[in-house]
Structure 1
Amino acid sequence: MASHLDLEEQEQLEQVKAFWKRWGNAITWLLTLALVAYAGWTGWNYWQRQQAAKAAAMFTELERAAQAGDAGKATAVFGNLKTEYGSTGYAAQAALIAAKLQLDKGKADEARATLTWAVDGAKGDAYRDLARLRLAALQMDAKQYDEAGKTLDGVKNADFAPLLADRRGDLALLQNKPDQARTEFKKAYDAMDKQLDYRRLLQVKLASLGVAVGDDETPGAAQ
């Protein structure tokens, strides 16, 4: 019996040897690749977390500068943030904050440049569309009407449809197209949440064009 078991074990051993001889290298390579991939994935996640933490710290610094009204420091911090961590959502948010502060300080050119970067390179479609809406307003202020129209054409997020229509109405007015302006302002008014105070501004815009609207009345043209 012992001899029979020895022979059987020997047979199995020979089969294992033959299998390993044929497939051993392939299995080793597969295991190596799997370990490398796992190590790479783990390292990438760690790097991403580190990047996000550093970007968050820089963003907090920019927020403090904005709260203090220090446009120079905010612009400098934003410059570092977009250079080092431009692919993070923090950079996109920082661009919007920095641009507002720059505009408040009368630095419209810097604000346009900041928003242009956000439109071209910020992470997140919503941030880019919000930057487009703000950039278009600055372009209109600078009488860059064709550029403003092209900028507005890039807004695709349905959540911004009312604001987009409002901006298009402003642009139509500046281009002496009152009929188009009425249409756009009315579109914005109808689409905007009734709880928002911004609707009152749209009422004023429509009234200036001869259209009376109200939350509790049937919209219609003023006589």
Structure 2
Amino acid sequence: MDQSDEEQLERLKAWWRRNGPALLLGAAVAAAGLAAWWGYQTWQERTQQRAAGAYADYLEQERQDAGLEALEEAGQRLLDAHAGSGYAALTALRLAREQAAAGAYGEAAQTLGWLVEHAGDRPMAELARLRQARALAQEDPERALAALDGGEVSEGFRAVYAELRGDLLSELDRPEEAAEAYRTALDAGGLAPQSRELVRTKLQAISPEA
């Protein structure tokens, strides 16, 4: 080895003494980060698989017509274990429908209230709140009205919310407020032609001059 090679080797050794530990630490951190990412991806995939399995179990209970109690048990297991999954939202909607069909309106409202709190996006929360109000309306129009007015409403739901609000106010013998709600529904747009005609008929029934 000539002198120039020795000098280069010494410079390399000196550079490694200065920078080597930091490079090794950076590599270790990167490796740990990569391992954590893969671990999270694996955990997420397994969680989704378990949620899908729980949803399949719930659907099987429905298919077998196992009864409301069995559906509630299967549904609650899924909601408790997989609250953050899309399967939980689907289960809550289906379970609430079964509860309402069985006349268990209070239980349906409770299930939909859970979905209002845990929905992953605003449209799902607004749909759940609308259905919750409809379930409550079967037994307690005042509570239904309170649920309906429990938050802001996006444009896509404004008309149907206003129509239901008009129905509730009419049932509570508050015709002027009901008429205003029906006008809001008509002005909001988004109603199908038959629905618009029905809202207009309701409005004329309580406010003939409309």
Distance 1:195 1:135 in 2: 22
Task: Identify the residue that residue 16 of structure 1 maps to in structure 2.
Answer: 12
Matched, 1:29 2:30: no
Q: In structure 2, what residue type is equivalent to 1:115?
A: L
Q: Is the Cα contact below 8 Å between 1:136 and 1:148 reproduced in 2? A: yes
**Structure-1-length-normalised TM-score:** 0.81
Which of these residues, 104, 126, 134, is aligned with residue 101 of structure 2?
Answer: 104
TM superposition shift of 1:103? 0.9
Uncovered stretches (5+) of structure 1, i.e. residues with no partner: 212-220
Task: Identify the residue that residue 171 of structure 2 maps to in structure 1.
Answer: 174
TM superposition shift of 1:155? 4.2
Distance 1:153 1:102 in 2: 23
RMSD: 2.4
Identity of aligned residues (%): 28
Matched, 1:123 2:120: yes
SS at 2:161 equivalent: helix
Bigger mean CA offset, 81-90 vs 140-149: 140-149
**Structure-2-length-normalised TM-score:** 0.85
Q: Kindly report which structure 2 residues correspond to 1:122-141, keeping only aligned pairs within 5 A, or say none.
A: 122-141=119-138
Which of these residues, 31, 50, 53, is aligned with residue 49 of structure 2?
Answer: 53
Q: In structure 1, what residue type is equivalent to 2:150?
A: D
Matched, 1:207 2:204: yes
Distance 2:135 2:127 in 1: 13
Uncovered stretches (5+) of structure 2, i.e. residues with no partner: none
Cα deviation digits, residues 121-154 of structure 1 (max 9, x gap): 2322222211111112233333262563255332
Distance 2:188 2:105 in 1: 30
Equivalent pairs, count: 209
Distance 2:118 2:32 in 1: 32
